[in-house]
Chain A
Amino acid sequence: MTRPLEHDYIGLTATKEKPEKLPAEGEAEKLGFKETELRLGLPGSESPERNKGHGLITKSFVSGAKRGFEDTIEGVGKWGLAGSEVEVGKGGGLFSPRGEGGAGSGSRGMDAGGAVGEGKKAQNKGKEADPGIAPASKAQVVGWPPIRSYRKNTMATNPSKNKDEAEGKQGAGCLYVKVSMDGAPYLRKVDLKTYCNYKELSSALEKMFSCFTIGQCGSHGIPGKDGLSESRLTDLINGSEYVLTYEDKDGDWMLVGDVPWEMFTDSCRRLRIMTGSDAIGLAPRAMEKCKNRN
């Protein structure tokens, strides 16, 4: 079975060298906490996120940076820390570029071990093309994509490159912000200027993410549109299961809907559809902040 192998590279990274950032104790704690939480998905379906080797995420998207498992126990911890998610994403998170021994990307069709190539010790040396397996991690492999070091270094120090990411793209009257949904393999981008109010935004997001509902996925490949229906997602969003949050100019995560629409579009830098449990901790803060503002 390839699935365990898909995790191997992550496990390998853990054994090789722990990323500097996160201490082990706090994370283990959080992991335990997470495991006792209510899960989404149909009764009897696998937990979507954290269990090794099962569920939507594993099949379709093993993110090196943002959502990890196992060694990326560190990554799990990050989910509770709303603000830090941004940093994780920016620098490539856990899997910052390394010269040698970069963590492999166990992406589609590959034995994860083999995918690493350089610096990989005693893992799979070969690849088997298996078209069925969905794309996995975006963790970095040495020398991939094939960008020359000179270009890499130059772009890294170029401030304008990061302009868009940090501020939301402002071109000719559009305001693109990224929208992520916990458990979904892909991000989307929306242009906030195309909506006039929260209702429109909410229905647009529902449509966009209805195919990513948790716990439902074809056995291989990108989660198809034959996932749960839109109405189910609406239930999920309107119910206590999902909460729409956004990161504002100050880097704080707030509940969407608390401030007037214009104020929201002015200050929103990115959106995140959070699982209910994460957002519970959020709500009071958001209310506080609004109160302070008013």
Chain B
Amino acid sequence: MTIKKKKEIIDDGKSPENRLSLFPDEVLERVLGFVKSHKDRSAVSLVCKDWYTAERWSRTHVFIGNCYSVSPEIVARRFPNIRSVTLKGKPRFSDFNLVPPDWGADIHSWLVIFASAFPFLEELRLKRMTVTDESLDFLARSFTGFKALSLVSCDGFSTNGLASIASYCRNLTELDIQESGVDELGGSWLSCFPENFMALEALNFANLNSEVNFDALERLVARCRSLKVLKVNKSITLEQLRRLLMRAPQLVELGTGSFSQDHSLRTDGELEVAFNNCKSLHTLSGLWEVSSMYLPALYPACANLVFLNLSYAALQSTELAKLLPNCPLLRRLWVLDTVEDKGLEAVASNCHFLEELRVFPADPFDQEIIQEGVGTGVTEFGFVAVSEGCPNLQYVLYFCRQMTNAAVATVVRNCPNFTHFRLCIMNMCEPDYLTNEPMDEAFGAVVKTCTRLRRLAVSGLLTDRAFEYIGTYAKNLETLSVAFAGSSDRGMQCVLEGCPKLRKLEIRDCPFGNSALLSGLERYETMRSLWMSACKVTIDGCCLLARKMPRLNVEVIKEDENDETHAEKVYVYRSVAGPRRDAPPFVLTL
């Protein structure tokens, strides 16, 4: 390849003058500009000093998977020309309320540095970070060329912050606040987009509840001719959606809002016309209150659908079975378990190209255990059915209440190409309900058969055996999520010793203690992070780890004063920035 040849020339040992005349830095930078993936760029930067320099000058996008692994000053020093930043903050288990509020991951200190170092910053994509209105206002005023703001699962801001963005970001192309927790002070923020503002290409405010001014929205949609992504919130009625679609038939991604109407539409035909116009739709979501009556209106728009997100639409199996034949090209499907096994059979019959399936529970906290698959969500039968009809499956997230080892083995036999396998048997420590045995063999089958597996989430009753399997076979595993599993330290040890590519390990409520924690001494610097909560680790064990591995941040979250020695929640991650300077009192850095 070209790059290798250049490397040979450089390593030739020829004089600097010769090197320069053969290959000026500017050219190298230009070439490296085409290298986009951050993993490749990291590799490039390690080749030699010249390449390191060329790489850092040519990098325009930086991805930081753990905001505390590096400081904004370090980033600014190394990369002078950044236009786009992606940052992830809190540990993933914060999604499930396992991280106390005010833990950290506040964007503000980053923005302050960026304002002086990257005045031409255009894109900011954050996940699980705290963003205040003050920060949003600062952002809107500091970066004149700012284009794209994406806040996924963030919190700390209100609709006032959105008003700042709308008011001051003249070149905004993207505003996406999906799944963020927003303090809703009304819908007037949307009206803050100036009347002459036309640059918007993507708008996602599906998670908000408050009503926006529909006229303002309609005018905005009408004048933004490049709008490709529009995901509206619940307050938008079906009739209003129809009007929006008539204005924006070029949409590629649509979030429909509630998809319901209090009173009947004037004519159903009009709705179908609107959808008929939308021939470019690849992604469809929303449908929170969809009723069977209006669902068929969607059908004409589904011909090119690649991603259908029905995970907030409580569809029955019959409705799904009627919808799916209209979506022959579907590759990604998210559904609620209201569709039941029968619905999954419809998926199997219709979605031959399916690569990703996620089945969410409609009623995860249902106190009543209902037996034998009647009206009970999905079971192993649905799982097996899908695997039989969709051999290209690579990604599955499956919430169920019962499962068997045999069924899982069948599934992976039918679909050996899984890269992401996340099975959540919702009843804790549930064994194989037919044999009453642990679910060890199920996950054993997964790791033995799916050699490309990168992400695994386990559940059900599991002994150390399951982890022995994982350590022995899951050689490409990068992310592992474990809850209420294992019998002893050996379980965690097997994983740490056996999975060379492991980057993220998150564990809760398992009998793993200090010896398990310390068995990973050599590993943690190669990983992004380790999370252990409600395990058997003690403060002393964490201190020992911290002492032996000074380049790791070993943090214990301590909220409970009763037991001084127990480390309730442990978060370990590598960092070049040293210990956190913004840690709240309940976070102890050891």
Determine whether B487 belongs to the interface, using a CB cutoff of 8 Å to chain A.
yes
Determine whether B88 belongs to the interface, using a CB cutoff of 8 Å to chain A.
no
Contacts of B535 in A (CB 8 A): 125-126
Determine whether B112 belongs to the interface, using a CB cutoff of 8 Å to chain A.
no
Q: How far is the CA of A260 from the CA of B281 in the complex (A)?
A: 53
Query: In the bound complex, do residue B369 and residue A138 qualify as a contact, i.e. CB atoms below 8 Å apart?
Result: yes
Query: In the bound complex, do residue A97 and residue B365 qualify as a contact, i.e. CB atoms below 8 Å apart?
Result: yes
Query: In the bound complex, do residue B438 and residue A186 qualify as a contact, i.e. CB atoms below 8 Å apart?
Result: no
**Which residue of A64, A116, A131, A176 is within 8 Å of B431 (Cβ)?**
A131
A-contact 0/1 string along B384-398, CB 8 Å cutoff:
000000000000000
Determine whether B127 belongs to the interface, using a CB cutoff of 8 Å to chain A.
no
Contacts of A146 in B (CB 8 A): 95-96, 424, 481, 483
Contacts of A147 in B (CB 8 A): 96, 360-361, 364
**Which residue of B426, B433, B461, B566 is within 8 Å of A129 (Cβ)?**
B461
Determine whether A275 belongs to the interface, using a CB cutoff of 8 Å to chain B.
no
Query: In the bound complex, do residue B429 and residue A109 qualify as a contact, i.e. CB atoms below 8 Å apart?
Result: yes
Determine whether B428 belongs to the interface, using a CB cutoff of 8 Å to chain A.
yes
Among the listed stretches A148-156, A230-238, A248-256, A286-294, which one makes contact with chain B, having 4 or more residues with CB under 8 Å of it? A148-156
A127 nearest CB neighbor, chain B only: B511
B461 nearest CB neighbor, chain A only: A109
Q: How far is the CA of A108 from the CA of B51 in the complex (A)?
A: 57
How many chain A residues have a CB neighbour from B under 8 Å? 71
Q: A115-B484, A118-B98, A142-B97 are in contact. Are A154 and B312 (CB under 8 A)?
A: yes
Q: A99-B97, A169-B375, A221-B436 are in contact. Are A127 and B367 (CB under 8 A)?
A: no
Contacts of A108 in B (CB 8 A): 427-431, 461
Q: A110-B428, A117-B533, A171-B316 are in contact. Are A180 and B368 (CB under 8 A)?
A: yes
**Which residue of B98, B288, B362 is within 8 Å of A142 (Cβ)?**
B98
Determine whether A114 belongs to the interface, using a CB cutoff of 8 Å to chain B.
yes
Q: How far is the CA of A125 from the CA of B463 in the complex (A)?
A: 17
**Which residue of B366, B429, B533 is within 8 Å of A110 (Cβ)?**
B429
A-contact 0/1 string along B173-185, CB 8 Å cutoff:
0000001110000
Which residues 270-329 of B sit at the A interface, judged by CB distance below 8 A?
Answer: 288-289, 311-312, 314, 316-318
Contacts of A159 in B (CB 8 A): 289
Contacts of B369 in A (CB 8 A): 61, 135, 138, 185-187
B369 nearest CB neighbor, chain A only: A186
Query: In the bound complex, do residue B95 and residue A149 qualify as a contact, i.e. CB atoms below 8 Å apart?
Result: yes
Which residues 32-91 of B sit at the A interface, judged by CB distance below 8 A?
Answer: none
Q: A160-B314, A186-B369 are in contact. Are A118 and B533 (CB under 8 A)?
A: yes
Query: In the bound complex, do residue B487 and residue A129 qualify as a contact, i.e. CB atoms below 8 Å apart?
Result: yes
How many chain B residues have a CB neighbour from A under 8 Å? 71
Determine whether B332 belongs to the interface, using a CB cutoff of 8 Å to chain A.
no
Query: In the bound complex, do residue A93 and residue B461 qualify as a contact, i.e. CB atoms below 8 Å apart?
Result: no
Determine whether B534 belongs to the interface, using a CB cutoff of 8 Å to chain A.
yes
Determine whether A33 belongs to the interface, using a CB cutoff of 8 Å to chain B.
no
Which residues 508-562 of B sit at the A interface, judged by CB distance below 8 A?
Answer: 508-511, 513, 533-536, 559-560, 562
B290 nearest CB neighbor, chain A only: A160
Contacts of B487 in A (CB 8 A): 128-129
Contacts of B366 in A (CB 8 A): 138
Determine whether A107 belongs to the interface, using a CB cutoff of 8 Å to chain B.
yes
Query: In the bound complex, do residue A189 and residue B374 qualify as a contact, i.e. CB atoms below 8 Å apart?
Result: yes
Query: In the bound complex, do residue B365 and residue A140 qualify as a contact, i.e. CB atoms below 8 Å apart?
Result: yes
Query: In the bound complex, do residue B367 and residue A66 qualify as a contact, i.e. CB atoms below 8 Å apart?
Result: yes
Query: In the bound complex, do residue B427 and residue A127 qualify as a contact, i.e. CB atoms below 8 Å apart?
Result: no
Determine whether A161 belongs to the interface, using a CB cutoff of 8 Å to chain B.
yes
Q: How many A-B residue pairs have CB under 8 A?
A: 194
A101 nearest CB neighbor, chain B only: B560
Contacts of B153 in A (CB 8 A): 148, 150
Q: How far is the CA of A108 from the CA of B153 in the complex (A)?
A: 33
Query: In the bound complex, do residue B367 and residue A93 qualify as a contact, i.e. CB atoms below 8 Å apart?
Result: yes
Q: A131-B431, A146-B95 are in contact. Are A125 and B314 (CB under 8 A)?
A: no
Q: A145-B399, A149-B181, A161-B363 are in contact. Are A117 and B462 (CB under 8 A)?
A: no
A160 to chain B, nearest CB (A): 5
Q: How far is the CA of A129 from the CA of B487 in the complex (A)?
A: 6
Query: In the bound complex, do residue B562 and residue A122 qualify as a contact, i.e. CB atoms below 8 Å apart?
Result: yes
Q: How far is the CA of A92 from the CA of B364 in the complex (A)?
A: 11
Q: How far is the CA of A186 from the CA of B369 in the complex (A)?
A: 5
Contacts of A131 in B (CB 8 A): 431, 436-438, 461
Q: How far is the CA of A135 from the CA of B433 in the complex (A)?
A: 11
B318 to chain A, nearest CB (A): 6
Greatest chain B CB density within 10 A among A149, A172, A190 is at A149
A65 to chain B, nearest CB (A): 4
Contacts of B371 in A (CB 8 A): 186-188
Contacts of B95 in A (CB 8 A): 146, 148-149
B456 to chain A, nearest CB (A): 14
B-contact 0/1 string along A58-74, CB 8 Å cutoff:
00010111100000000
Determine whether B226 belongs to the interface, using a CB cutoff of 8 Å to chain A.
no
Query: In the bound complex, do residue B534 and residue A129 qualify as a contact, i.e. CB atoms below 8 Å apart?
Result: no
Determine whether B376 belongs to the interface, using a CB cutoff of 8 Å to chain A.
yes
Determine whether B207 belongs to the interface, using a CB cutoff of 8 Å to chain A.
yes
Query: In the bound complex, do residue B207 and residue A150 qualify as a contact, i.e. CB atoms below 8 Å apart?
Result: yes
B266 to chain A, nearest CB (A): 24
A125 nearest CB neighbor, chain B only: B536
Q: A114-B509, A146-B424, A147-B361 are in contact. Are A125 and B566 (CB under 8 A)?
A: yes
Given A129-B463, A164-B314: 5 more A-B contacts, CB < 8 Å: A115-B484, A117-B508, A138-B365, A147-B361, A148-B96
Chain B: residues with CB nearer than 8 A to chain A? 93, 95-98, 153, 179-181, 207, 288-289, 311-312, 314, 316-318, 338, 360-372, 374-376, 399, 424, 426-431, 433, 436-438, 461-463, 481, 483-487, 508-511, 513, 533-536, 559-560, 562-563, 566, 568
Q: Can you report 21 A-B residue pairs in the complex whose CB atoms are below 8 A from each other?
A: A64-B367, A99-B97, A107-B430, A108-B428, A108-B430, A108-B461, A110-B428, A121-B560, A126-B513, A127-B429, A127-B509, A143-B96, A149-B97, A149-B181, A150-B153, A158-B288, A158-B314, A161-B314, A165-B363, A189-B374, A222-B433
